[in-house]
A and B are shown apart, each in its own frame.
Chain A
Amino acid sequence: MYSERSILHFNVADFAVAVERVADSSLRRRPLIIAPLQAARAVVYDMSEEAFCSGVRKGMPLFQATRRCRRAQVLPPRIGLYQRAMGDFLGRVRRFSPLVEHGLADGHLFVDVTGTHRLFGPAPDIGWRVRREVRGDLGIDPIWTLSSNKLVAKVASRLVKPVGEYIVAPGEEQEFLAPLPVFLLPGITQGERRRFREFNILRIGQLAGLNRNELLVPFGRRSGYLYDASRGVDPSRVTNGVRRDACIVQEHHFGDDTNDSRRLKEAVARLAAQVALQLRRGGQEARRLVLRLTYSDGATVQRQLSRRIGSSSDFVLRDMALLVLQRAWRRRTRIRSCHLFCDRLHRRSTQQSLLQMLPQQSKDNEAGLLEAMDAIRDRFGQEVIGTGVDGTGGDRGRAQMSAG
């Protein structure tokens, strides 16, 4: 039987900036850049619309960003604050549907409100009410869009950003997309953009004018996605919890480029601990770690490691990260920075594994230790305690007080 879905997409533009401005309204008067201040080669974590208009972009080196927007005030990121704000936002949305797919602390979520009309009325009314409540109670102003699938709702959000709303009526998806620039489709890679330019495909409607065979030659395996997306077809469901494509990133930039093994291992272990803490705070576990090393000559190397069962333990993620480091670090050239990405996230399960080999006592001890470490970090800061690095990266280490 045909079943039409109603998917709401909420998106708070520049979420970190929006939250900081709620916390301190004086920040509304100036452009704002969020970036870690203590790092020698800090990059932009988020920026306000004014800073964006001046050319500042996420991931841009801070020194470059502040040159582009000299009036900007720079603040360090407060991930915990953004996560709490995200939790409040989610709480309001979950009153209307249990099916909410969201990012970690990015103000970005999909809600499937199909079939809730008898309880809450028409879907546009839910969008409007959530926005009104979030604006009134939390002081942030989300965009809301409504469509029959996630892809079209996301494109509509991109269209109205930074404020507004958009309803794409079911059956109108293709007509809605046709006049829009092709780069508004989610997930388009740089290579595909180049190809579009080569073929003079500027609008989504032009892409939709090509059949599967015509798309197959230039786009290969991606032709199926492009064929469906250009017609506004997206069968993917709203999955409950953190989005599958959500990703936690931590980075470290060395003050001086280095090839000192100890410094590198310490940095990677610290990144793993930061990632693990972020996961635990979000009630999540990750199944994959990706480490990217950037050498002083600009070359980058990326390696990854997956595990069947997700984890948010400092010890497990540290061991994984050090193993990936071994695989990635093959050159003698000094290293400038390392990024640790953590994805394939899922909600932390409290259920015991039937095949768990680790004695329960040991697991309990580890959980207790992590809980105590988190409490210390919450009180005295992230840097005050960490896991030791023994040089082999293989053994299960004990927690130890770091220097100071």
Chain B
Amino acid sequence: MTTVQRAEAMFSPPAVDGLTVGSRQCPLYIGTSGYSYTEWSDSGFYPAATRTADMLGEYTRYFPAVELNYTWYQMPRPEAVARMAAKAPEDFLFAAKLTRSLTHDIRDNWSQEVNQYRRGVAPLGSRLAAVLVQLPPDFRRSPANRCYLARLLDGLQGLPVAVEFRHVSWAVDPVFAELERRRVTLVSVDAPDLPELFPHMDIVTNPDFFYLRFHGRNRSGWSSSNMQKKFDYDYSETELRQRTEASIAALSSRADRGLVFFNNHVRAQAPRNARNLQNILKARQWTKQ
């Protein structure tokens, strides 16, 4: 570890202590979905002209965890993952999206790809806080899809897995019971309230951790294939406070750790909102004390 890395580690932001409900203390790791966005330099979150290679180091000054979304576009490669992890402090956590060839464009050789994925994220070791299985909107609860998901979760056994459904058909008790039996986390989402979309639910199926994603509430942009429209939303402080009271408190009471990520990356709204949420939670903790 270099001197600079040691210094960064010393000053890296700790997880927000979160909420103490009863005797349970649930540390919250708040971050964003992805960190490598050129427009975050344009929007002032990163210093102007920050190189992509330097963004993670800069990011870790503000957040204790990140959701890696590049692993959705391509299979993670162990050597590249190891190099990336070395740029972050030792207590910094990573959540890694499962590659799209296992969720959206499923290939015939998918079981080999599961093994490839496991090898790819292996260098993260205990810093891998979650593997995010984000399923597409057209992945309905059909016998074939249920069977595929069961086999996929079997393949990922031993990893901290969180499943995000995008179709409402999965919002039924047997699904939650099965996830609970497998100790797999159901991802809670803050997203536009649309009829076909999996609704927001504060259900904890895995006491090890809960996983909350803020996608923004842009109803008109949600159906767009353009991410700049879909995730263009700025949460107000009131909305964040309401979500804290309504969801985070409930989720924290039933899990040992909380992962909260903002996906509304457009114009650096995600890091701004994440910082706001950190401040809200810190203030709340302080008022409790």
Question: Which residues of chain A have a CB within 8 Å of any CB of chain B?
Answer: 1-4, 6, 115, 117-122, 124-125, 127-129, 165-167, 169-172, 175-176
Contacts and interface: CB of A to CB of B under 8 A. Distances in A.
A176 B83 CA distance: 11
A167 to B, nearest CB: 5
Interface string B30-60: 0000101111001000000101110000000
Contact of B73 (A1, A3, A167, A175): A167
Contacts of A129: 225
A171 B83 CA distance: 11
B225 A124 contact: no
A165 B34 CA distance: 19
Given A2-B49, A172-B80, A175-B83, A121 B70 contact: no
12 contacts: A2-B49, A4-B51, A4-B52, A118-B228, A127-B73, A128-B73, A167-B73, A169-B36, A169-B52, A172-B53, A172-B80, A175-B79
Interface in B61-100: 70, 73-74, 79-80, 83-84, 100
B73 A124 contact: yes
B226 A121 contact: yes
A122 B42 contact: no
Contact of B37 (A117, A166, A172): A117
Closest 5 CB pairs of A and B: A171-B53, A121-B227, A170-B52, A124-B73, A121-B228
Contacts of A128: 73, 100
Contact of A169 (B53, B100, B227): B53
Contacts of A115: 38
Contacts of A124: 70, 73-74
A20 B95 CA distance: 43
A95 to B, nearest CB: 11
Contact of B38 (A4, A167, A172): A4
B74 A165 contact: yes
B226 A1 contact: no
A127 B225 CA distance: 13
A1 B34 CA distance: 25
Given A128-B73, A165-B74, A118 B227 contact: no
A6 B225 CA distance: 20
- Chain B's interface: helix, strand, loop or mixed, by majority? helix
A165 B70 CA distance: 12
Nearest to A133: B225
Contacts of A125: 73, 227
A1 B41 CA distance: 14
Interface in B225-279: 225-228
Nearest to A178: B79
Nearest to B79: A175
Given A118-B39, A172-B83, A167 B225 contact: no
Nearest to A2: B49
Contacts of B37: 117, 122
Interface string B186-226: 00000000000000000000000000000000000000011
Contacts of A166: 74
Nearest to A135: B105
A112 to B, nearest CB: 14
B66 to A, nearest CB: 14
Given A4-B38, A128-B100, A167-B70, A120 B53 contact: no
Contacts of A120: 226-228
Nearest to B40: A117
A170 B227 contact: no
Contacts of B227: 120-122, 125
A70 to B, nearest CB: 27
A53 B146 CA distance: 38
A124 B80 CA distance: 16
A87 to B, nearest CB: 23
B53 A1 contact: no
B53 A170 contact: yes
A118 B42 contact: yes
Contacts of A176: 80
Which of A115, A117, A119 has the most chain B CB atoms closer than 10 A to its own CB? A117
Contact of A170 (B49, B51, B79): B51
Contacts of A175: 79-80, 83
Interface string B107-133: 000000000000000000000000000
Contacts of B74: 124, 165-167
A118 B84 CA distance: 25
Which of A3, A171, A175 has the most chain B CB atoms closer than 10 A to its own CB? A171
Given A4-B38, A121-B227, A165 B73 contact: yes
Nearest to B231: A121
Given A119-B228, A170-B53, 16 more contacts: A1-B49, A2-B51, A115-B38, A117-B228, A118-B42, A121-B228, A122-B227, A125-B227, A127-B73, A128-B100, A166-B74, A167-B70, A167-B73, A169-B53, A170-B52, A175-B79
Contacts of B79: 175
A171 B49 contact: no
Nearest to A123: B38
Contacts of B42: 118
Which of A121, A124, A125, A166 has the most chain B CB atoms closer than 10 A to its own CB? A121
Nearest to B52: A170
Contacts of B84: 169
A338 B228 CA distance: 54
A170 B52 CA distance: 6
Contacts of A122: 34, 36-37, 227
A175 B100 CA distance: 25
Interface in B132-169: none
Contacts of A118: 39, 42, 228
Nearest to B42: A118
Nearest to A163: B107
